[in-house]
Structure 1
Amino acid sequence: MAAGSGSSVGFVGAGRMAAAIAQGLLLAGKVEAGNVLASAPSDRNLCHFRRWGCRTTHSNAEVLTSCSVIFFATKPHILPSVLAEVSSVVTEEHILVSLAAGVSLQTLEELLPPNSRVLRIMPNLPCVVQEGAVVIARGSRVKNEEAELVQKLLSACGLCEEVPESYINIHTGLSGSGVAYVCMFSEALAEGAIKMGMPSALAHRIAAQTLMGAGKLLLESGKHPAQLRTDVCTPGGTTIYGLHALERGGLRAATMSAVEAATSRAQELGKR
């Protein structure tokens, strides 16, 4: 199946991340609304899909019989029962994509019929605005063309990279949790400006724009962060004084420790 407007995409589970991925696919023209089918036990999470013109159902099995690429966006502890429910309608033609944190590819393949084609993905919240970071890990029966199809679809949500499964927990600590770290830093930047006399709303807008602009500059320039940091500094200027204050406060070590702590926690949760 080629990626494009004729692709049939299903969502088992219709929560915030499923909606974010669906919205990205629709806005980028990767799939037409009529070719998207989402299921959920109640109508509460289906309202977004209906508003976009997508089809909805309360039957998980109907999603499998109607679509070829399926995103399983249920909570991790629910996923095994959902897979048991739909297992009888899974075929070798399906491409099955799990968003469930901590559920390994090996476990997914054991829960599904033989020869099922399974991938794991880990998105982050900025997928809601099509500026997310998503990683993909493929199961043992997934071919290059199938992994490339999923990667092309998910590129509508932002940066999308295929990685070994062992990187998924690291991605969680870096990018999934990292959104919260960046929000905290943005808040602190703005509060520094507020302390110096800038109005709150203006300070928060400028701080957010500064972070977005710096991120885009990093991606598009291809330069190492240290090089761009050096480009901003001038001898005896304002930036080097500010950087010195950040180093005194332990920003670098604290950030590295945050990624390590969140990654370790993701690994612990995956063993339960």
Structure 2
Amino acid sequence: ILISVLANVDFEKLQTIKAQNYVRIMPNTAAKYKASTTPYILKNSHFENEILDILKTFGSAYKLDNEIQMNAAMAISGCAPAFLALIAESIANAGVYEGLSKELSLNLTRSLFKSSSALLEHEHPAIIKENICSPGGVTIKGIKILEQKGIRGSFFEAINASSAK
């Protein structure tokens, strides 16, 4: 079995090495905490259960149907943690700017990501946003700024660029 973690190296290139099965995976750096989000695609079904058992040792595994999906999933699972880290760093820095200690601001930001993750387990992101925003409230004012700055387009373009060959 050849298991590849090489970004954008397709089965055609991998098949220059003889193996009974080829697997493309893209774990993310959370694998070191057994919390990776790992998309994978198999060339054939040989040893599929064993491969899945291996992948689950370092987090969640998501089977994909084709290599086009793999490139998109790789960008989300492999690259987006860095994008989210940039957001976390920005939020924590903004807290310091507003007068919080670095330690408190970082701890609040970490807790924010945990609680937001819990919400995402149960609700669509749009519903979460709508439930938090109140008419004329502070959250909708912040959302307005983010939308004016083009946050949606920026993330869309970042994922698109990261999934391109």
User: Distance between the aligned counterparts of 2:114 and 2:49, measured in 1?
Assistant: 28
Deviation at 1:156, TM superposition (A): 2.9
| Aligned amino acid, residue 98 of structure 1 | S
1:256 aligned to 130, 152, 156, which one?
A: 156
2:59 aligned to 139, 158, 163, which one?
A: 158
User: Distance between the aligned counterparts of 1:263 and 1:231, measured in 2?
Assistant: 32
Matched, 1:106 2:12: yes
After superposition, the C-alpha distances for 1:1-47 in whole angstroms (9 at most, x for unaligned) are xxxxxxxxxxxxxxxxxxxxxxxxxxxxxxxxxxxxxxxxxxxxxxx
Aligned length: 164
User: Distance between the aligned counterparts of 2:37 and 2:112, measured in 1?
Assistant: 19
2:33 aligned to 102, 124, 129, which one?
A: 129
User: Distance between the aligned counterparts of 1:229 and 1:152, measured in 2?
Assistant: 36
Q: TM-score, normalised by structure 1?
A: 0.56
Q: What's the secondary structure of 1:97's corresponding residue?
A: strand
After superposition, the C-alpha distances for 1:233-271 in whole angstroms (9 at most, x for unaligned) are 22222211111111121111111111111112xx1xxxx
- Root mean square deviation, CA, Å: 1.7
1:119 aligned to 10, 17, 23, which one?
A: 23
Identity in percent: 24
Q: What's the secondary structure of 1:174's corresponding residue?
A: helix
Query: Pairwise mapping of residues 40-189 of structure 1 onto structure 2 (< 5 A)?
Result: 95-112=1-18, 116-139=20-43, 141-143=44-46, 146-163=47-64, 164-189=66-91
User: Distance between the aligned counterparts of 1:135 and 1:258, measured in 2?
Assistant: 19
Compared CA separation, residues 148 and 239, structure 1 to 2 (3 A): farther
User: Distance between the aligned counterparts of 2:17 and 2:105, measured in 1?
Assistant: 51
Matched, 1:215 2:117: yes
Q: 166-175 or 124-133: which moved more?
A: 166-175
User: What residue ranges of structure 2 are gaps of 5+ in the alignment?
Assistant: none
| Aligned amino acid, residue 161 of structure 1 | Y
Q: Which has the higher contact order (CA 8 A, sep 6+)?
A: 2
Q: Which has the larger radius of gyration?
A: 1
Deviation at 1:225, TM superposition (A): 0.7
1:246 aligned to 136, 139, 146, which one?
A: 146
Contact 1:97 1:121 in 2 (8 A): yes
Deviation at 1:214, TM superposition (A): 0.9
After superposition, the C-alpha distances for 1:101-126 in whole angstroms (9 at most, x for unaligned) are 2332222233205xx12211111111
| Aligned amino acid, residue 108 of structure 1 | L
User: What residue ranges of structure 1 are gaps of 5+ in the alignment?
Assistant: 1-94, 268-272
After superposition, the C-alpha distances for 1:138-160 in whole angstroms (9 at most, x for unaligned) are 01x324xx323322332232221
| Aligned amino acid, residue 236 of structure 1 | G
